[in-house]
Structure 1
């Protein structure tokens, strides 16, 4: 990719100075000619992705940028614009005046442990907001964290790693996981399902580096680093810096647990453990709008940022009842234009009126609720989609039986929500309960779904640290896929790569 200073992206963003470059693209300072402001532009290289998969990458890139732009937190870089121009993907972000955490560490060695606690606490506040969406960063590392002039930290590249890491190996030439091996959780590197626990492991690596001056696991090859992540215990930081408080060392070791279930429960939980090591303040006594809160508890996450339906802004009651038919037409138009978030809001607001007008169990309302659940999933609002899907599955099962394909499909999508919400044990249980139905061809009639469920079970077993069961599950799946569809089938290629990677590490 040849890019020159002075080039204008989409007739608006004039590139100025190259400030970063890597295997997947470049980062430039630029000027927004329309609003006359400095911005940062990241150009990504889809040519690094094979053939038809480049189109999938472009689609996912735009979707992920749209979803991540909805996350509102002062510790996240603001996304101004995103899209494609020719063969390139571009992301326009807020320009952050400061130093990345890697450079900040290099300039202040040894890094004061109080600073390390303050950085980690601020990152916990960011991750708490991100995980509530839910989004998993997947590539938290010092170069993706900026320290601003006032000492606050800003997290970069939210959602970008998610695009490049789809199904771990499918979007790479080599089959190696996308990301930074030194900061990669074992389950992510092995191709297992990722969740908030994956970012917490990366936070542990980052915190260990700030305290000790180096990452806990290094090596000359990615495979060597991965092997150490999987099988070697980290050196406790107090052996390297005795002045580090014991509770801080214990927290770092918990964050670096091989088994995700042994790590802290959440970013909120991690913040609470860091709190006693921060400068003493006080606990706010008011509600969420307490103006004293930023001074009493700087950078703290909200106690509960879960985006449950009750937590969503409710539409102001209208004097006139909404025109359901006209609203449905508007939703169709919005979905056609890719304006998914707005379509979600309209669907959520018209459902009560449609139920009153046509009846709660009418075909019209059932269709609207299906569309609502599907649109919530497409908008990345898995926490809101989950109860809708469960309700649809239960109602359909009561009418047509537990083996009804539509009820099974709703349960399958609910399991996907659990997976995205970082609940691997619950997702695994749901997929396992579905598998007998999908393996009965007379009932389900969809071998592709059966294969996908088995693949997801294997990845979730990896996420839960059961590598033996994961290997057995994926090896049997590979034999079935190759026998029926041939060794060149994309799923077979992906599973073979994962098994080779898993076999190398186990060896």
Structure 2
């Protein structure tokens, strides 16, 4: 009741005779988010109001990220400290939150592209100059604007223990957070791995089987990963390698995940729609499932209970026996897709596209061919001597 009364009072208030709190956007555990209006610069802004007990954490996060400037990270404009609250003025992003993206039933390509953009934000923050990890990469930190750009928020805040503990049952458990003795946002190899795994969890939720109107995805109680039918097995395997710490090909850095997601994005990217004369193509378009997704007919029928721990492209022959796909886990956890939900293989054309994309992404450029200048000069001199000799001979014959 007290929180509701506080929200009623806050809406319509002007902070520091400049920022008008227009409407409530979100009520979180540690802060309240409003849509506001900057009356000086005449622009819409987002304003976070943090309660007193969370002020130290938010101030530390702002100090670590105030200089960030990246297209996949939400900008911070101002910080206002009052006796009973802390107000963070940020860029207002008009777009879809994670719950809306879940309801949109994104195609595998758009999910992979979302992962690429989130990794770009993590890579920017983790450069040697900045050395900042996210630490709290939950669904509430993600929003996609109307042009399709993914924007990441809440860098350097303490991690949501409830969220990450619930998802920690996949792949054998282990510590919820690496290096808990470090300050929030401080980079380390363990924390970079935590952020990378958090990206995998986000991608899995967007690809998991769920009700069409679901705005959240609950962690699987049995530790199994279940994907919808139209997800290519290469994408499923990559997500599993990012989430399951015991996977023999576990991905532990944003850079490694970004490189592999880029290969998949290039292979899965749908052809651009034709542009009629006199009409510009939209910067970003979310079409219906039939237009965006890879056609289901490109995949072979589903095999019952295929395990994601099976590396793709191996020499093992296809079999209908579950024993051929023994789970790779020392803790007794099975990472597996639900029966009749995952196709067994890519269409030949899609496999060819992946092979070409991988080769283009990882092959080294051949050294440029250099012209042998001494040989070229010698050849020119020989031609000159030949023409000179012929001319001299002809002139001598004609004169005599």
What TM-score do you get using the length of structure 1 for normalisation? 0.44
Map of 2:84 onto structure 1 = 87
- Asked whether the 8 Å contact 2:45–2:92 carries over to 1, the reply is yes
Q: Which residue of 1 aligns with 2:95?
A: 98
* C-alpha spacing 1:210/1:178, structure 2 compared with 1 (3 Å): closer
Q: How does 1:34-53 map to 2 (within 5 A)?
A: 34-46=40-52, 49=53
Deviation at 1:66, TM superposition (A): 2.1
CA separation in 2, counterparts of 1:178 and 1:92? Answer: 27
- Helix, strand or coil for the counterpart of 1:234? coil
Gaps of 5+ in 2: 182-189, 211-215, 269-329, 332-400
More helix by share: 1
Distance 2:248 2:29 in 1: 33
| Structure-1 residue corresponding to 2:176 | 188
Q: Give 2:202's aligned residue.
A: 206
Residue matched to 1:218: 219
Instruction: Select the structure with the greater relative contact order (CA < 8 A; seq sep ≥ 6).
Output: 2
Compared CA separation, residues 60 and 100, structure 1 to 2 (3 A): closer
Q: Give 1:124's match in structure 2, choosing from 119, 125, 128.
A: 119
Task: Tell me: CA distance 1:79–1:178, structure 2 relative to 1, closer, same or farther (3 Å).
Answer: farther
The two structures, once aligned, show a CA RMSD in angstroms of 3.1
Deviation readout 1:200-220 (Å, 9 max, x if unpaired): 11111111111114588638x
Q: What is the aligned length?
A: 245
- In structure 1, the partner of 2:60 is 63
- Structure number with greater Rg is 2
- TM-fit CA distance, 1:101: 2.3
Q: Is the 8 A contact 1:10 1:85 kept in 2?
A: no
Given candidates 224, 227, 231, the residue that maps to 1:234 is 224
What corresponds to 1:25 in structure 2? 31
Alpha carbons of structure 1 residues 233 and 59: separation in structure 2 relative to 1, 3 Å: closer
- Match of 1:243, SS state, is coil
Which of residues 96, 110, 115 is equivalent to 2:110?
115
Calculate the TM-score normalised by the size of structure 2.
0.55
Whether the 8 Å contact between 1:80 and 1:92 is mirrored in structure 2 is yes
Structure 1 residue 244 corresponds to structure 2 residue 245: no
Q: CA deviation at 1:183?
A: 5.3
Cα distance, 1:23–1:216 mapped onto 2, change above 3 Å: closer
Cα drift, residue 199 of structure 1: 1.1
| Alignment-derived partner of residue 275 in structure 1 | 262
Q: Does 1:147 align with 2:147?
A: no
Residue 197 (structure 1) shift? 0.8
Aligned pair in 2 of structure 1 residues 136, 251: CA closer, same or farther (>3 Å)?
Answer: same
Q: CA deviation at 1:181?
A: 4.3
In structure 1, the gaps of 5 or more residues are: 50-56, 169-176, 220-227, 282-464, 467-507
Distance 1:17 1:102 in 2: 20
Aligned equivalent of 1:256: 243
- 1:7 aligned to 2:13? yes
- The answer (yes or no) to whether the contact 2:138–2:163 under 8 Å persists in 1 is no
1:408-447 matches, within 5 Å, as: none
Alpha-carbon distance, 1:40 to partner = 0.3
Residue in 2 aligned with 1:504? none
